[in-house]
Chains A and B, each alone.
Chain A
Amino acid sequence: MPLSVETPHHLKPDWWLRVRHSIAVSRHEPANVIAFILAVCFAYLILAPVISILLDAIFVHSGDAGRTHQDEGAFTLYYLTRAFMSRMSQIILWTPLYNTLAIALGTVACSLTLGVTLAWLINRTNMAGRRWFASALIVPFMLPSWTFAMAWTTIFKNRTIGGQPGWLEALGFHTPNWLAYGFFPIVVILILHYTPLVILIVGNALTRLDVQMEDCARILGAPRRTIAFSIILPLVRPALMSAALLIFADCIGEFAVPYILGLPVNYDTLSTGLYRSLDSRQNGVAAVLAAVIMIIGVITLLIDMHMMREARRFVTVGGKGNMDRQTSLGKFRVIAASIPMAFMLIAMVIPLITLFLSTIMTLPGRFTLSNFTFDYWIGHHLTTVALRNGILFTPEFWQATWNTIFIVGIASLCSGILGLLVGYAVTRCSFRGVSGFLRHITFMPYLVPGIAFAAAFLSLFAVARGPIPALYGTPILLIIALIAEKMPFASRSGIAAMTQLGKEPEEAARIAGASWFTRMRKIIVPIQAGPLATGILLPFISGIKGVSLFIILAVPSTDVLTTYSLRLLDYNYDQAANAVVFMIALIAWFGTLLIQRISGTHLAQGLES
């Protein structure tokens, strides 16, 4: 049957018909509804706080009318001027900014160097014990960074600030201030914390490299050095850059370590400065600081996106010729292993042992048998003022533990599920604008320092607004703040998991006649069980370690382990505080081991995203 092929003359339906048809189609696509609901929720939970912070920087706060000579709520440049151009701005902004950048850059540079060396030793050489190190070296990243800070003060604390002396001081060595507080210890600790991340990311990239590319260069006669610098390095560079930017962004917002090691000697970073401003009720200045941190975050992200675009130009789908290609280290095989061994010692063994010993010593730094006691763990009727029982017999400790598990548990459960839903909505939604909005808004908290975010939550939800009652002092506030904080990770892994799965398994189920709930229950959730478990457990671990949100939002009745330990520290119950920290570290460690057991390789990928 021949077909007369004339110019198509079909009626173009006018836009109204198209819209009506789209609505008819969308009625059967629940992803659209979900996307809209999620978009509204996150606009309220994430966008509103962020906007409120930014507005705080340019409107007069209550109580500031006198200082600014303006009415409360009026537009003002007072806070900006004060932060950037006043007599105080050196103290308020410039020095903390300088300190923050110095810490971030120092950490990035050192942890990259150290991390690449270790990654190479582990993945590309026949160093003794490389397999063992491959999993052991990751551990420091699972421990809260401020665990190290606590261990550090336990050893190096000097008489500049009050309280019990450090071990070295007690043993008669004077520790200089630069060693005990401020820039040096903060950078060292952050390096110890982030080097494992570099090892993970760069190691992944190294193992994913197609050895055929190397072989090809070798066949063409390239010497080893040329191969390393002109083949391997350029191909690993995207991974290096992404690790660098990730660490940089994290360091900018880092709060707990400078809080412990910087605040006592007035060594401020942007985030501790922010905390200080909040503490002294200077919300306007705090808002300016928050905005500065966010801007740094945005710039980092833009660089990252630019780099990613560059990197995509030579994305290589390697993997097949992926053999275990090793450089032989010869007789240095064993000696080389001393580098990761030293790292393990410094980054894990010593801090944990220090922490533990500090909890069983009455007086710090005195290593005599009579000085050791388990009273701080399990004692009764101690002579201290408040904490009369060992930690394990203190109801507050168990209350805090329960609070932690309850609050962080619910929050991470929700964020894991929401993350998967966001992934579902983003990949299925037929309105590009909505899915783009969802993708971006869920990533936003990544750019906002936890402290600033917490402050915004406080100002938004402390009082009743419309149908939402005042939430301050309730676990709900902590839970929703935590959910919002964890959304960048949760949504990214949800989107990644759904993108990888593709639409077809669900489409096949639709064709088989399955309704949306059946599809979710029988297809999507079971297939995504692994990523979902990771998406719940990883936020749980990092939630347990978190400090900045809780320090602002928790009240004694909603104390979690971290705030409880800091409170103990404030009261100079160092042993008890360290005991709590030690418990947190253990929970974090075993939790991560559990995740690895459940989800295998998801962990490394999860951390990278």
Chain B
Amino acid sequence: MPTIELKNLTKTYGKNTTPAVNDVTITIADGEFMCLLGPSGCGKTTILRMIAGIEHASSGEIVLGGSVVDSVNKSHFTPPEQRQIGLVFQNYALWPHMTVERNVDFGLRIQKIPAEERHARCQDVMEKLRIAEYANRYPSQLSGGQQQRVALARMLAVNPGILLLDEPLSNLDATLRLEMRAELRRIHETFGTTIVFVSHDQWEAMTLANTIAVMNKGTLQQIGTPDEIYATPQNRFVAEFIGNPKINMIELSKATNSLDKVADHILARLPECAHADTCCIRPEEIVLSDVPHSHTLPMTIENIMPTGGSWVIELSYGSSRLFHSTQQRPYWRVQEQVNAFLPAQALHFFDQHHQRLIIDTPQDESLKRLKQPNQFGSNHTFEPNHPLTQPVNHRV
């Protein structure tokens, strides 16, 4: 199974001045399950198409399994016919004039596989993807999910070393998505294929991929495991793009001359971060309590939104707004006062170029003595007798 190396890959369409893909360098290891994640229009599809060879690079290089397939400096280009790659298009691109079976065995026919073996392989793949019963139907007679499985089977039949998938789950309804997700995982395990898929949906990326590459406006923002990406966003874009509800962004640079009470509070508490531009905290990391303390912020509950098994609470302090999310049913009412605690360890800082700043904030002293995971799974430390260590969201 080959690796995929993208080196300084850039793509500019036609006379456009802004590149669709800008200086992207990624190495995708053998057998990896990688997701290119980013908002719509950030160049994900373009990267897939370049790997497949249906677009060519404007500069940079693509190396598949050690051999250069597209390189501007070496003036080399291997056409898609010779790359032995599988690509499942976002809208499947099934051939409307061929039956499911003909769609699936097209690649095998091209390779001049003898009829018997061809039939056997085709049958095998169709059975694995549970489309064998539709073998004689035309694509227009299939549902979206079935069409997608045909598109997958068409590529898997030739057993490509690399499988590229463009937004594999986005056209499916909720139940089909779950089914397909399991399907893709199974394919990854049984076929051992290197899979690169594209998504604009973080849930899809987080639940499927081993590695995620976050992209924005054609540039690579961060590569890492889903956990890394979530826990240590390398820049402001990644922090804001990942996570639902969205991360709370606090502009520190505006603190002194604005009414942002939260920013003032953080600067007062942690003077080390004075040179940071922004700071953010995930909604579930905020700790709410009824009892005030020197490190808490008095806030008003503006809104409580149930989101099916969890709740999002909108808090305000002057003109500042924060969102908190919890899986405990809140017992407060709207307009009630609560005290919000923003643990220093949970704060992410960014400089004016929106890059992550490593700031060695003191762990909140009062919280050091006892290490006790709270119900959100993060490892903040709490002091038993301290007002803040009261189980959160429970009235004393």
In chain A, what residue has the closest Cβ to B86? A511
Question: Is the CB of B301 closer than 8 A to any CB of chain A?
Answer: no
Contact with B along A502-545 (1 / 0, CB 8 A): 11110111111111001000110011010000000000000000
- Give bound CA distance, A507 to B88, whole Å: 11
Asked if A2 is at the interface (CB within 8 A of a chain B CB), the reply is yes
B59 within 8 A of A: yes
A5 within 8 A of B: yes
- Identity of the chain B residue whose Cβ is nearest the Cβ of A21 in the assembled complex: B72
A3 with B77: CB separation less than 8 A: no
Q: Which of A2, A18, A513 has the most CB of B within 10 A?
A: A513
| Contact across chains for B81 and A13 when beta carbons are under 8 A apart | no
A2 & B234 in contact (Cβ 8 Å cutoff): yes
- On whether A18 and B154 interact (CB within 8 A), knowing A508-B89, A508-B93, A513-B81, the answer reads no
Pair A3/B14 contact, Cβ less than 8 Å? no
Known: A5-B355, A514-B110, A526-B97. A24 touches B234 (CB 8 A): no
Flag if A518 contacts B110 (CB, 8 Å): yes
Task: Please name the residue on chain B nearest to A12 by beta carbon.
Answer: B59
Chain B residues numbered 48-101 whose CB sits less than 8 Å from any CB in chain A: 52-54, 56-60, 71-73, 75-77, 79-87, 89, 91, 93-97
A18 to B60, CA, bound (A): 11
Contact status of A513 and B154, CB under 8 A, knowing A8-B22, A24-B75? no
Complex Cα spacing A527 to B96, Å: 7
Selected from A10, A22, A502, A515, the residue in CB contact (under 8 A) with B8 is: A10
Complex Cα distance A554/B234, Å? 77
Question: Do A511 and B54 have beta carbons less than 8 Å apart?
Answer: yes
A17 interfacial by beta-carbon distance below 8 Å: yes
**A residues 88-124 in Cβ contact with B at 8 Å:** none
User: Is B220 among interface residues, defined by CB-CB distance under 8 A?
Assistant: yes
A507 touches B54 (CB 8 A): yes
Bound Cα distance A510, B72 (Å)? 22
Which single member of B56, B107, B235 contacts A512 (CB below 8 Å)? B107
Complex Cα distance, B110 from A20, in Å, reads: 30
Instruction: Tell which of B168-176, B221-229, B339-347 binds the partner.
Output: B221-229
Q: Are B223 and A3 in contact (CB under 8 A)?
A: yes
Which range holds the interface residue count of chain A?
35 or more
Determine the chain B residues whose CB is within 8 A of the CB of A515 once the complex forms. Answer: 81
Q: Say yes or no: A514-B81 contact (C-beta < 8 A), given A20-B75, A21-B72.
A: yes
| B83: A residues at CB distance < 8 A | 511
B100 CB, nearest partner CB in chain A, Å: 14
CB distance from A487 to the nearest CB of B (A): 26
A504 to B166, CA, bound (A): 13
Which positions 213-268 of chain B face chain A at CB distance < 8 Å? 219-224, 228, 232, 234-235
CA distance A513 to B23 in the complex (A): 29
Query: With an 8 A cutoff between CB atoms, is A237 at the interface?
Result: no
Nearest chain A residue, comparing its CB with the CB of B84 = A513
B158 at the interface (CB under 8 A from A): yes
Given the interface pairs A511-B54, A511-B87, A513-B107, the reply to whether A5 lies near B234 with Cβ below 8 Å is: yes
Taking a contact as CB atoms under 8 Å apart, the answer to whether B154 and A25 are in contact is no
Interface majority SS (helix, strand, loop, mixed), chain A:
helix
Contacts of B385 in A (CB 8 A): none
Q: How far is the CA of A21 from the CA of B10 in the complex (A)?
A: 14
Contacts known (A513-B81, A513-B110); A505 close to B59, Cβ less than 8 A: no
Within 13-54 of B, Cβ neighbours of A (below 8 Å) are at: 14, 22-23, 52-54
Residues of A1-47 contacting chain B, CB below 8 A: 1-3, 5, 8, 10-13, 17-18, 20-25, 27-28
Per-residue CB contact flags for chain A residues 173-208 toward chain B (1 = under 8 Å, else 0) read: 000000000000000000000000000000000000
Complex Cα gap A514–B107 (Å) = 8
B77, A24: Cβ atoms under 8 Å?
Answer: yes
Residues on A with C-beta less than 8 A from B355 are 5
Chain A, Cβ-Cβ closest to B57: A21
Q: Is A309 on the interface with B (CB-CB < 8 A)? A: no
Known interface pairs A8-B22, A512-B154. Does A13 touch B73 (Cβ–Cβ under 8 Å)?
Answer: yes
Query: Complex: how many Å from CA A493 to CA B56?
Result: 29
The docked-state distance in angstroms from the alpha carbon of A2 to that of B238 is 12
Nearest CB of A to B125, in Å:
13
Bound-state CA distance A522–B103 (Å) is 11
Q: CB within 8 A of A504: which of B8, B10, B89, B158?
A: B89
A440 contacts B by Cβ under 8 Å: no
- Cβ contacts under 8 Å, B87 to chain A: 507-508, 511
Interface centre among A22, A25, A523 (most CB of B within 10 A): A25
User: What is the distance, in angstroms, from B75's C-beta to the closest C-beta of chain A?
Assistant: 4
Query: How would residues 343 to 381 of chain B score, 1 for a CB under 8 Å from any chain A CB and 0 otherwise?
Result: 000000000000110000000000000000000000000
| Interface membership of A432, Cβ < 8 A | yes
Q: Given that A8-B22, A432-B14, A513-B81 are known contacts, is A13 also in contact with B59, CB under 8 Å in the complex?
A: yes
**CB-CB contacts below 8 Å: A423-481 with B:** 432
> What residue in chain A is nearest B237 (Cβ atoms)?
A5
Assess whether B223 is in contact with A21, with CB atoms less than 8 Å apart.
Answer: no
Which residues of chain A are within 8 angstroms of B85 by Cβ–Cβ distance? 511
A13 near B93 with CB under 8 A, answer: no
Query: How long is the Cα–Cα vector from A17 to B10 in the complex, in angstroms?
Result: 14
B158 touches A512 (CB 8 A): yes
**Closest CB in chain B relative to A111 CB, distance in Å:** 38
B56 touches A527 (CB 8 A): no
A residues 389-409 near B (Cβ < 8 Å) are none
- CB of B317 closer than 8 Å to a CB of A: no
Tell me the minimal C-beta distance from A444 to chain B in angstroms: 25
Q: Is there contact, CB below 8 Å, between B154 and A508?
A: yes
Q: Which residue of chain A has the shortest Cβ distance to B106 in the bound complex?
A: A512
Q: Taking the complex as formed, is B307 at the interface, i.e. its CB lies under 8 A from any CB of chain A?
A: no
Question: Once the chains are docked, how many angstroms separate the CA of A1 from the CA of B223?
Answer: 6
Flag whether B111 is at the interface (Cβ < 8 A): yes
In whole angstroms, how far apart are the Cα atoms of A523 and B93 in the complex? 12
Q: Which of A334-384 contact B (CB under 8 A)?
A: none
Ordered by A's residue number, 18 sampled pairs between the chains whose C-beta atoms are within 8 Å are A2-B232, A3-B234, A5-B235, A18-B72, A21-B71, A21-B77, A22-B56, A24-B77, A432-B14, A508-B94, A508-B154, A509-B95, A510-B53, A512-B155, A513-B107, A513-B110, A513-B111, A514-B110
Question: Top 5 nearest A-B pairs by Cβ distance?
Answer: A504-B93, A28-B79, A512-B107, A8-B23, A20-B75
Further contacts, 18 of them, CB under 8 A, given A17-B72, A508-B94, A514-B110: A2-B232, A5-B220, A5-B355, A8-B23, A10-B8, A13-B72, A28-B77, A504-B89, A505-B96, A507-B52, A507-B93, A510-B81, A512-B110, A512-B155, A513-B107, A513-B111, A522-B106, A527-B97
